[in-house]
Amino acid sequence: MNAATFISKRIFSLSKENLSSTVMRIAVASVALGIAIMLISIAIVVGFKNQIKDKVVGFVAPIHVQALNQNESIEEAPFVLDSVLTARLDKPFITSMHKTANKAGIIKTDDEIQAVVLKGVDADYNWDYINSYLIDGKIPQYVENERSNDVVISKIISHKMNLQVGDPVRIWFVDQDMKARGRKFNVKGIYETGLHECDERFVYCDLNQIRRLNGWNNNEIGHLEIWVDNEKKITEYNHSIYYSIPTELVSYTAMDSYPQIFDWLELQDMNVVIIIVLMLLVAGITIISMLLIIILEKTSTIGLLKSMGASNGLIRSIFLKRSGKILLIGMLIGNVFGIGICLLQKYTGLVSLSPESYYLSAVPIEMNVWYILALNAGTMLLWIAMMLLPTMLINNIRPSKSIRFE
C-alpha cells in the first residue's frame, strides 16, 4: 500500500458525522443518479428508434421500385418484372422481391364511410410481418391465376366500420372513366401494428383484384418490394439499385415513404444529448463542490503534511484517490439501478404508452453492452478531468498559515 492510499483511508470516511462525509454521500447520490438517468435515456431512445424503424420498414419494405410517374396520387403506372429487369436486380444483398400494387378505394357501410388503400399482394408474398401483428382471423391464401375476395383489415378500420372476421365488406373504386364501381370482399383477418398512419389506410387484398380493377395484364405490377440483408445499409443499397434499373423506373426507401416518422426519430438523438450533457454537468459540479469543501475542511491537515515534507503531487493524489473511489461507488450504484430499471421495463412493460402518439404500447428498452461501456468510460474520464481543477488549490496552501486554520 503506497502512502497516498494509506493516508486517504485514514483521514476520509463516509461513516463519520461531519461536513465532508455528508458532502461525499451527496456526491455518491449525484453520480449514481446521473449514470442511471443517462443509461435509461440511451436505452429508451435506442429502443424507440430501432423498434419504430423496424415497424415502418417491415410494413412498407426497405426499398421499392416503381414506374417513374409525375402523378402524386395513389394510382400507379404498371410495369412488368421481366427477365431483363430481374437480371439487373440480381444483387448479392437482395434477399427477396415481392410484386404488389396499390389502389385507392372507399369502404362504405350503412352508417360509416372510410377512405382506404388496397394493397394487392400475390401468392408468393411474405406474410411474416403482418402475421406477427394479427389479432384475429388468419392470413388469406391467394392463388396465382385466380381472384380471391379475402382481405385483411386493420383494427382501426374494423372499429370504425364495425367489421369483424367473416363479415362481408363493399369497397368502391373510381375507374378511368370516372365511374364508381363496387366490389364485395370478405374480412379474413384483422391486424394491428401500432403505426397509425398505416393502420388507418391499408387493406391487404389479392393482387389479381387490383389488376382486374385497373385493366392490367396478368404480368403487370404497381411496384416491387425489395428486401435486403442489412437494413443499416438501405441508403447504400438503394443507390446501387437506382443506377441499375431502366430510366423509366425509380427506386426509393422506406425513409422516403415516411420521412415525418424518421425525422421525428432523429430529433430523439438531440433529446438524449441534452440529457447527457445536463447530467454530466450536474454530477461534475457536485464532484467539484465536494472536493472544494473537503480541501477547505482539511486545510490544516494539508498544511501539516506539507510541513512534514509531503509534496503537492502527493497531497493531490490523496484527495484524487478518495474522490475516485467515491466516483466508482456512485457509478456502480448508478449502473445497478439504471440497468435494473431497464430490465424491469423490458420484461414487464410497466410503463405504457399511447400507440396513437408513440406507435408503441409500452416504453421500449434496448440495451447494448458497448453503449454501456462507452458511456461509463467516457463519463469517468470527463469527471476525473473535472476533479483535477479543485486540487490545484492545494498548491496555494502555506503550512505556516494552514496549520492554524480552523
pLDDT tier for residue 28 given thresholds of 50, 70 and 90: confident
Q: pLDDT tens for residues 35-51?
A: 999 899 889 888 888 88
Residue with cell 410484386: 99
In angstroms, rounded to a whole number, what is the distance separating the alpha carbons of residues 145 and 123? 9
Residue 316 lies in a domain: yes
In angstroms, rounded to a whole number, what is the distance separating the alpha carbons of residues 87 and 65? 14
State the pLDDT at residue 76: 83
Q: pLDDT tens for residues 219-252?
A: 899 999 999 998 889 999 999 999 999 888 999 9
State the pLDDT at residue 263: 83
Asked whether residue 333 carries a pLDDT value surpassing 70, the answer given is yes
In angstroms, rounded to a whole number, what is the distance separating the alpha carbons of residues 242 and 254? 14
State the pLDDT at residue 101: 93
* Beta-strand relationship, 249-253 and 63-67: antiparallel
State the pLDDT at residue 25: 82
State the pLDDT at residue 4: 55
Mean pLDDT for 146-166 is: 92
Same domain, 277 and 169: no
Same domain, 217 and 136: yes
Residue 257 lies in a domain: no
Asked whether residue 70 carries a pLDDT value surpassing 80, the answer given is no
Same domain, 76 and 222: yes
pLDDT, averaged across the chain: 84
Asked whether residue 77 carries a pLDDT value surpassing 60, the answer given is yes
Residue 123: Cβ-neighbour burial (10 angstroms; 0-12, 13-18, 19+): middle
Same domain, 378 and 234: no
What would you measure as the largest C-alpha separation in the chain, in angstroms? Answer: 103
Same domain, 240 and 292: no
- Which DSSP string do the residues of 64-96 spell out, in sequence order? EEEE-----SS----EE--HHHHHHT--TTEEE
Q: Which of 141, 169, 142 is nearest to 153 (CA)?
A: 169
Q: pLDDT tens for residues 335-394?
A: 999 999 999 999 998 888 887 777 788 888 988 888 889 888 888 888 888 877 777 766
In angstroms, rounded to a whole number, what is the distance separating the alpha carbons of residues 4 and 323? 12
Same domain, 41 and 158: no
Give CA torsion, residues 86, 89, 117, 192, to 10 deg: 120
Same domain, 352 and 285: yes
pLDDT tier for residue 396 given thresholds of 50, 70 and 90: low
Could you tell me the three cell numbers for 287?
464532484
In angstroms, rounded to a whole number, what is the distance separating the alpha carbons of residues 27 and 283? 7
268 or 152: which carries more pLDDT confidence?
A: 152
What is the span of the domain harbouring residue 192? 69-246
Same domain, 270 and 228: no
Please tell me the least confidently modeled range out of 158-162, 266-270, 315-319: 315-319
Please tell me the least confidently modeled range out of 73-82, 101-110, 188-197: 73-82
Residue 362 lies in a domain: yes
Asked whether residue 296 carries a pLDDT value surpassing 90, the answer given is no
Amino acid (1-letter code) at residue 10: R
In total, how many domains does the chain have? 2
Could you tell me the three cell numbers for 303?
498544511
Q: pLDDT tens for residues 157-201?
A: 999 999 999 999 999 887 766 777 888 999 999 999 988 888 888
Q: Which of 204, 206, 208, 171 is nearest to 190 (CA)?
A: 204
Asked whether residue 261 carries a pLDDT value surpassing 60, the answer given is yes
Q: Report whether 125 contacts 73 (CB < 8 A).
A: no
Q: Report whether 272 contacts 41 (CB < 8 A).
A: yes
Domain end residue (candidates: 184, 219, 246)? 246
State the pLDDT at residue 337: 94
Residue 255 lies in a domain: no
Please tell me the least confidently modeled range out of 184-188, 267-271, 289-293, 394-398: 394-398
State the pLDDT at residue 384: 81
Could you tell me the three cell numbers for 57?
420498414
312 or 271: which carries more pLDDT confidence?
A: 271
Please name the residues in contact with 300: beta carbons below 8 A apart, sequence gap of 6 or more: 402, 403, 404, 405, 406
Same domain, 233 and 311: no
Residue with cell 484527495: 319
Domain end residue (candidates: 198, 215, 246)? 246
Same domain, 195 and 268: no
Radius of gyration of the chain (CA): 32
Residue 107 lies in a domain: yes
Residue 284 lies in a domain: yes
Residue 40 lies in a domain: yes
Mean pLDDT for 271-282 is: 84
State the pLDDT at residue 288: 80
Residue 168 lies in a domain: yes
Same domain, 242 and 287: no
Domain end residue (candidates: 214, 246, 278)? 246
Same domain, 238 and 173: yes
